[in-house]
Amino acid sequence: MVTLLDQPKMQAILTSLVEGVIIFDLDGRVIVANHVAERIFRTARGTLVGKTMETISPNNGELVAMVDEALLGGKETFTETMLGTHNQVYRVLVRPIKDEQGQLEGTVVVFHDITDIRNFAQVRSEFAGNVSHELRTPLTSIKGFVETLLDGAMGNSDTCRRFLTIIDTETDRLSRLIEDLLTLSSIESKEKLIQPKPVGLARSIRSVINMLGPQISEKDLMVKFIYPPAMPDVHADEDLLGQVLINLLDNAIKYTPIGGVVIIRCKQRESRIIITVTDTGVGIPEDSISRVFERFYRVDKARTRSQGGTGLGLSIVKHIVESHGGQVFVKSEVGKGSTFGVCFLTV
Ligand SMILES: Nc1ncnc2c1ncn2[C@@H]1O[C@H](COP(=O)(O)OP(=O)(O)OP(=O)(O)O)[C@@H](O)[C@H]1O
Ligand SMILES: [Mg+2]
């Protein structure tokens, strides 16, 4: 086996692998280990050779036992375990090596980094859990009011109207939630296909202000729009850019008390255009700031729910902006107001 491994070709193959590989001889000592394996166990080049599994990873009894089982019993095993400095998750396969006559010669241990796969699975399952919860809440409420109506409350026309109004609001919330989920999934599936074109930002912003006109006047807000005289077009998908602006302005309106001020500013910084939406609203507590772009995150669940929020708006903003190669940011102070910013590339 040693002569085979001495061949430069074999070394080249091991070096090119993304998996960590360690080969032990029959005495349980390393005869070869590639770069990746050395990195996993944080050792210098060539220093694993001659060591046993126990000295390489003294705290991982499972791996030591697996190597023993392969060398003593010719048994193949695998496991998932955390290794390395950053709590990476590895799928580890221990396979005995036999010669042509079936005689045991040693064992090979392969380390495959599956951290991303595990993280992805966790995000997905959390997302499914959140979605179910968000759908169940309005449904439970609708069902409750319908049952009360059927149980006799229908006879009183005032009660009947009140309950139907609640049912109407909850149904709207369900529709909005489903619409937001569809937007998210369509951005996700289109991610590679976004076809940006030059878009006149001033026009897009004005049309969003017009669209939200009724909400703005209902709360008696002053909305100002400030932009440089010769602003270049941005490179963006027009509908998605519109969605970003709507979500930001909608929040500024929703979370600012009556009579407040909302300022939309555009600034050019080299090849980027930065759009900020500043309000004089309720602000966001410091410990929530880093979380507002998460799906379903709301600072005050009860209050925003009564305003019909699903907590998806900012996650959609972040997703769209990042899929255009831009970034999002937020500054806020409780009681004073918030500034949300996004940047897009100019044409
Ligand atoms: N301008 C703002 N001022 C204060 N708080 C804000 C502002 N914008 C967002 N937030 C907080 O961040 C949370 C997340 O915002 P996001 O837009 O994602 O969800 P939402 O507004 O609750 O619901 P929707 O999905 O309908 O937009 C909000 O619930 C609110 O607590
Ligand atoms: Mg929102």
pLDDT digits (tens, 9 = 90+) for 221-256: 999 999 999 899 999 999 899 999 999 999 999 999
Best-predicted range by mean pLDDT (86-95, 119-128, 132-141, 293-302): 86-95
> Is any atom of ligand 1 closer than 6 Å to the C-beta of 311?
yes
Q: What is the DSSP letter of 300?
A: S
Verify that 231 and 300 share a domain, yes or no.
yes
**What's the CATH number where 312 sits?**
3.30.565.10
Within 10 Å of residue 322's Cβ, how many Cβ atoms? 14
The total number of structural domains that make up the chain: 3
Around ion ligand 2, residues with a beta carbon closer than 5 Å are 251, 313
CATH number at residue 96: 3.30.450.20
Alpha-carbon distance 200 to 236, whole Å? 10
C-beta 110 within 6 A of ligand 1: no
The fraction of the chain above a pLDDT of 70, given in percent, is: 95
Is the CB of residue 298 below 6 angstroms from any atom belonging to ligand 1? yes
Q: What is the CATH number of the domain that holds 139?
A: 1.10.287.130
**pLDDT > 90? residue 266:** yes
Atom 9 of ligand 1 has which residue's CA nearest to it?
Answer: 251
In this prediction, residue 110 carries a pLDDT of 97
pLDDT at residue number 1: 55
pLDDT tens-digit series, residues 30-62:
999 999 999 999 999 889 999 999 999 998 899
Last residue of one domain, picked from the residues 50, 82, 113: 113
* Residue 243 Cβ < 6 Å to ligand 1: no
Direct distance between the N- and C-terminal alpha carbons of the chain, in angstroms, rounded to an integer:
60
Question: Is residue 180 exposed (0-12), middle (13-18) or buried (19+ Cβ within 10 Å)?
Answer: buried
Rg of the Cα atoms in the chain: 30
- Confidence at 133, pLDDT banded by 50, 70, 90: confident
Q: Compute the distance from residue 54 Cα to the ligand 2 centre, in Å.
A: 54
340-343-346 Cα angle (round to 5): 150
Distance 308 CA to ligand 1 centre (A): 10
φ, ψ for residue 158 (rounded to 5)? -65, -50
Alpha-carbon distance of 91 to 81, in angstroms, equals: 7
Ligand at shortest distance from the CA of 288: 1
Q: For 288-333, write each residue's pLDDT tens digit.
A: 999 999 988 889 876 655 666 788 999 999 999 998 999 999 999 9
Q: Are residue 95 and residue 126 in the same domain, yes or no?
A: no
**If you average pLDDT over residues 87-107, what whole number do you get?**
93
In a shared domain, residues 188 and 198: no
CA angle 180, 183, 185 (to 5 degrees): 110
Same domain, 166 and 97: no
Check residue 192 and give its pLDDT: 55
Do 148 and 17 sit in the same domain of this protein? no
List Cα–Cα distances, 114 to 81, 118, 246, in angstroms: 10, 6, 38
Ligand 1 contact via 278 beta carbon (within 6 Å): no
Do 47 and 58 belong to one domain?
A: yes
Domain containing 285 equals 194-347
Which residues neighbour 57 within 8 Å (Cβ) at sequence distance 6 or greater? 41, 63, 64, 83
Is residue 68's pLDDT more than 80? yes
In whole angstroms, give the CA distance from residue 14 to residue 26. Answer: 20
Mean per-residue pLDDT, 80-106? 90
Together in a domain, 227 and 290: yes
Look over the chain and give the mean of its residue pLDDT values, rounded to a whole number: 90
CA–centroid distance, residue 239 to ligand 2 (Å)? 17
Determine if ligand 1 sits within 6 Å of the CB of residue 343.
no
- Range with top average pLDDT, 4-13, 121-130, 135-144, 248-257: 248-257
260 and 304 in a single domain? The answer is yes
Q: Are 240 and 220 in contact (CB under 8 A)?
A: no
Question: pLDDT exceeding 90 applies to what percent of the chain?
Answer: 66
**Whether residue 181 is found in the same domain as residue 240:** no
Shared-domain flag, residues 288 and 171? no
Q: Which of 21, 320, 24, 40 is nearest to 190 (CA)?
A: 320
Same-domain check for residues 216 and 89: no
Q: Is the CB of 284 under 6 A from ligand 1?
A: yes
